[in-house]
Structure 1
Amino acid sequence: MGFRKTNLFLALTISLIAAFSASAADKPVKVNFWHIGTAATDKGYYQGVADAFMKANPNVTIEMTILENEAFKSKLTTVMQSGNPPDIFHSWGGGVLAEYAKAGLLRDITKFTKGTAWGKSMAPGVWDIYAYNGKQYGAPFDMGAITFWYNKDLLAKVGYTSFPAEWSDFLNLVKKLKAAGIVPIALGGGDKWPAMHMWTYLAARVGGKEVLVNAAQGKGKGFNDPAFVKAGEMLVELVKLGAFQDGFLGATYPDEAALVGNGVAAMELMGQWAPNVQVDSSVSKKGIGDSLAAAPVPAVAKGKGKVTDVVGGGNGMAVGKNAPDAAVEFLKFLTNVENNAEYARVAGIIPTVKGAEVGIPSNNGKMVKQIVDKTEFFQLYLDQFFSPAVGGAVNDAVQTILAGTATPAQACKAIQSTFEMEQ
């Protein structure tokens, strides 16, 4: 789909208000912009946005570098080590962005976001993925969420016309599904990371955002916090209830998706990509169609977390330390409602800007967007938020809990030990 120029020119009149003084506007400015959108649709989108911005700001030149994912990571590491980062570059936020911020490699753009229209255009939780120590260093444009994807028809068979809002009721649903001969939850335990999301969510619901923030910052008891242990105990309870399919410990993620896509399992806890994978993994190659719906992980009684707290991930842009104001203005333009909606249309992303859901082509994507827009706390996937060693330790530990080869307390201790070795 081509770039919608009408929307762009409408956006220009709104976002490009005398950002620079008359004298500054005449001074030539170059902005180095690195992205990983190698597909034709992505290339066309980014080029269209850059061209529109440069037309409105003739003094600004956007120099674009397009790199494949792994090549991008390698080249970015090199330029970061040299202390000369690009002005605007792709970022997944979280721990890596925090390390760059601590090293003084990013520009603090808080004054452009705090209390401004731009800052209010997205949920606080998604902004925080691109912040460190109370300062903003980038902006998200695509942020999905891990949610329960469930089969409405299978839930209706056991008397549920809506998804449970409380964990106790969720356990009751699991029991009823099991009794009816329906697999309650599909889980690709052999791939480890699908189970990691469930453990993360349960810890967040029990201990609130503080427990995850403390673990990341090495404060308090870290991963030995009772909330993490309790989350492990809740996983053990699910195993004892027979919540997962037979052989779940050796199953892959495609196996998990196939169970839901073929109407065998009632639900899975997975990201916004789940509906497409369910379709591809189903025998009919159609999935379960309109029977599919998304819901947040239920609240836990007496838990400190909110049902609006989200675990997920996505994409955004970080701002290099030497970036001129024009680079920040370009980032604002890139993430305005019109352009964010356009990217949703051409690339199928979950846009972060409120109102940009008009560009989401599927109802499934719109359901995820509604959940993301309500979040005040957003936790990036733990195996992406932490270093590869710690992320791997989390995945391994959760699998030992499910397999019964380690107690929840022992598994949490193993994660904390790995974390401490890296400090």
Structure 2
Amino acid sequence: MTRQRTGLKLAAALTGVVLLLAGCGGTADNGDTDDGATGGTGGAGTDGGVEAQTITWWHNSNSSPGKEYYESVAADFEAMHEGLTIEIEAMQHEDMVTKLEAAWQSGDTPDIYMERGGGELADKVEVGLVKDLTDLAADEIGTIGGSVAGWQVDGRTYALPFSMGVVGFWYNKDIFADAGIEAPPTTMEEFYAVVDQLKDAGIDPISVGAGDKWPAAHYWYYFGLRQCSEQVLSDAVTSLDFQDPCFIRAGEDLEELVAAEPFNPGFLTTVAQAGPTSASGLLATGRVAMELAGHWEPGVMQGLTEDNLGLGEATGWFAFPTVPRGEGDPTATLGGGDAWAVPESSPEIAVEFTKYLLSDEVQTGFAEQDMGLPTNPGANSAVSDPALADLLQVRDDAA
């Protein structure tokens, strides 16, 4: 195991401990949702004597092309299982998180949902709310391999990750070129020079959805990853002790960044992904030059432009820059992903559908639609977007 690989795993673990790792993936504007009852239900049977059954599926791909793709996936699975109906609710990410919290409180949960992992998952497992998929989905777990680590508790797997990637800066190549920026920055010194160049050109350098909190947290995560050694990070994951001086330096780095005023006006109330004035929308529509976000960003931006292309060929990506005085691996990458999980009360067919979502066929379509980076290696070659293809290589090199 290289230091870079260790850094990715520690970064993912640290993110889950310090704050909630955002399982952001999806797309943007609020879409129509089906407010039907949740929870798997059976019926008296169809005319042919086959028992009718309904399951519910919540996800955050609520605009094109993801929304339509998942509708077709559900229809295909229904066609393979006579009498089955899959009721889908496609929601904007933050709305989905809020609704899930309420569903857990009421006991009226969907049968398949997006699980963020970490401490939240461990809490659900402790009180028996989530199915153990270790044996039920052994083949799928074997296929996706180490990606499941973030959704394991005491060595057992409780969710199947369908997209895994890394966080970095997405930027508009055309804006960089117009501002005379010849190459993305690799150090914070170069980064601040780029910020100044963009300001001089009359361009807001960076958007951040601090109104939704989790996008802003990525900056502290990364400064901690750059400033702290692997051993310090590893110890902090288990001890929850963040008094090491490297964490103080990370905070000072963040203060310096904020003092440089690189963010869009009103960033403290800017939402992450909902609509053209969101952080993702500002980047997608050319009103800022870059945004720190995960592998989900191209798919989000596609849903925020009229042509459904986002930035298109102007999409670029670069890694978070190195920092002075850093004791961390300068190549370490902050990782995260999204996973499907099944509540304990859900019927067996919900597990079968979850397994189907990790199949070669579904993951290939997921990749072809540029919805994210698939965890099933059989779908890797289907990633067509050049920026995502490059990011896939970064992810796999750091895995």
- Sort the TM-score into its range (normalised by shorter chain): 0.5 to 0.7
| Map of 2:292 onto structure 1 | 269
1:121-160 map, 5 Å:
121-122=143-144, 124=146, 126-143=147-164, 145-156=166-177
Q: Which amino acid aligns with 1:265?
A: V
* Aligned counterpart for 1:44 among listed residues 58, 65, 72: 72
1:286 and 1:334 mapped to 2: Cα distance?
25
Aligned pair in 2 of structure 1 residues 156, 270: CA closer, same or farther (>3 Å)? Answer: same
Q: Deviations over 1:144-165 (max 9, x none)?
A: 5543111224444677544334
Q: Deviations over 1:36-65 (max 9, x none)?
A: 25956424313423654x59xxxxx97856
- The answer (yes or no) to whether the contact 2:299–2:371 under 8 Å persists in 1 is no
- The answer (yes or no) to whether the contact 2:204–2:262 under 8 Å persists in 1 is yes
| Map of 1:229 onto structure 2 | 248
| Structure-1-length-normalised TM-score | 0.59
Higher helix residue share:
1
Q: Deviations over 1:82-108 (max 9, x none)?
A: xxx99x632323232211222244454
Aligned pair in 2 of structure 1 residues 76, 180: CA closer, same or farther (>3 Å)? Answer: closer
| Map of 2:327 onto structure 1 | 303
Q: Which amino acid aligns with 1:130?
A: W
Q: Deviations over 1:134-184 (max 9, x none)?
A: 332221123455431112244446775443344444344435545565543
The higher radius of gyration belongs to: 1
For structure 2, the 5+ residue unaligned runs are 1-51, 91-95
1:247-262 map, 5 Å:
248-249=267-268, 253=272, 254=277, 256-257=279-280, 259-261=282-284
1:362 and 1:311 mapped to 2: Cα distance?
20
For residue 112 of structure 1, report the CA deviation from its aligned partner: 7.5
Q: Which amino acid aligns with 2:225?
A: A
Q: Which amino acid aligns with 2:144?
A: M
| Structure-2-length-normalised TM-score | 0.62
Pairing 1:243–2:262 present: yes
Q: Deviations over 1:273-313 (max 9, x none)?
A: 54466577789997654222122323446433564533444
For residue 193 of structure 1, report the CA deviation from its aligned partner: 3.8
Aligned pair in 2 of structure 1 residues 170, 133: CA closer, same or farther (>3 Å)? Answer: farther
2:270 and 2:100 mapped to 1: Cα distance?
32
- The answer (yes or no) to whether the contact 2:55–2:85 under 8 Å persists in 1 is yes
- The answer (yes or no) to whether the contact 2:112–2:354 under 8 Å persists in 1 is no
| Map of 1:390 onto structure 2 | none
1:279 and 1:343 mapped to 2: Cα distance?
14
Q: Which amino acid aligns with 2:318?
A: A
| Map of 1:35 onto structure 2 | 57
Percent identity reads: 28
1:249 and 1:239 mapped to 2: Cα distance?
11
Q: Deviations over 1:324-365 (max 9, x none)?
A: 7x9767644431222211344579454322242455564455
For structure 1, the 5+ residue unaligned runs are 1-29, 56-60, 377-423
- The answer (yes or no) to whether the contact 1:130–1:318 under 8 Å persists in 2 is no
2:245 and 2:218 mapped to 1: Cα distance?
18
1:192 and 1:343 mapped to 2: Cα distance?
28
* Aligned counterpart for 1:202 among listed residues 195, 199, 223: 223
